[in-house]
Amino acid sequence: MELDDILTRIESRLAALGISAHAASLAARKPDAIRNLKRAVRNGDRRGITTETLGALAPVLQTTAAWLLEGIGDPTPGSRVSVVGRIGAGAEISPEFEQIPPEGLYEIEVPFPIAGDAIAFQVEGDSMWPRYDPGDVIICRRDGTDASDVIGWEAAVRTADGKRYLKRVQRGAAAGTFDLESHNAAPIRGVRIEWAAEVQGVVRSGQWRRM
């Protein structure tokens, strides 16, 4: 494993996406990953970088861990994912009224690799603007995670009263409750969350293709 080659590949993806090393590391929840790699290359430290860290960086850099590690394959392979419904960024979406077939509404092709259990939602409303626009598609994991694991992060959530939102999740005042924050709308406070999934990727409106 040649660290300088790995760093070169990481930096090429950063340049292609127009994001900083610090921003990418934060998004991967590895805040010092790229900085530490640069230091290791500069100092001739051969301890390397873990496959876990490369696996966390890969979706942020819209590539694969194998390409980051060894340059294997296309750095930006495309993938298909099912859009399984709409998600509210300002609008309230009640999934039980959407009449969604089991296979989802439709499939789209996205320009970066995604996990096998990935699903997608089309954004409705503008309370998360300028981070998200109506018509954007967000990618997340079907199984989701515990709501406490996404505190402080943007996530797709389904609340106990059956509504689906795209919000930043914060801990609520009462035990077991959460506050859902928007970028330009009042927060929704004290809700109970039945399902939550961190946003793994975003395809901007007009940049995804329906299959």
Q: Sketch out the chain's domains with CATH numbers.
A: 3-70 (1.10.260), 79-210 (2.10.109.10)
The angle that helices 3-17 and 33-43 make with each other, rounded to 10 degrees, is 140
Query: What pLDDT, on a 0 to 100 scale, did the predictor assign at position 189?
Result: 96
Choice among 37-51, 83-97, 142-156, 171-185 with the minimum mean pLDDT: 83-97
The Cα–Cα gap between 20 and 14 comes to: 6
For the chain, percent of residues with pLDDT exceeding 70: 91
Query: What pLDDT, on a 0 to 100 scale, did the predictor assign at position 94?
Result: 61
The Cα–Cα gap between 126 and 142 comes to: 24
The angle that helices 51-60 and 33-43 make with each other, rounded to 10 degrees, is 120
The Cα–Cα gap between 187 and 159 comes to: 14
Q: Does position 97 have pLDDT exceeding 60, yes or no?
A: no
Q: What is the mean pLDDT of the chain?
A: 86
Query: What pLDDT, on a 0 to 100 scale, did the predictor assign at position 208?
Result: 80
Reported as a single tens digit per residue, the pLDDT across 15-71 is: 988 889 999 999 888 999 999 999 989 888 777 788 889 988 988 888 888 889 888
Query: What pLDDT, on a 0 to 100 scale, did the predictor assign at position 23?
Result: 92
pTM for the structure as a whole: 0.62
- Average pLDDT of the segment spanning 174-194: 94
Reported as a single tens digit per residue, the pLDDT across 102-115 is: 667 788 887 777 77
Q: Which residue has the tokens 């996205």?
A: 110
- Average pLDDT of the segment spanning 185-207: 90
Among 88, 131, 84, smallest CA distance to 103 is for 84
| φ, ψ for residue 188, nearest 5 deg | -100, 115
